[in-house]
Amino acid sequence: MDDLEQMRRAAAITAALAHAPGPVTLLNPRPLVKVRVTYGRAIAVTPTHVLHEWVRYREWHCRWDAKRLVERVEDGVWLGEEID
């Protein structure tokens, strides 16, 4: 991942955190998660939502989803694309 992509991702995460649906707790390390059929990593949590990132077709994404839709998964079960 080049510097421009790192800056783009950091800006997207900062913007998402600024619009968090409640008080935020950042996660470190970022656990592997599954949201519906999408595999990714959780970035942050609020009492009701999880901010997660994923890569699909070599394109990076992040968004908030309701906690009830997010399932933590183990490394052997995780089927997502590599996140740099």
Low-confidence residues of the chain: pLDDT under 50 = none
| φ and ψ at residue 38, rounded to 5 degrees | -100, 130
pTM for this structure?
0.91
Query: How many other CB atoms sit within 10 Å of the CB of residue 29?
Result: 7
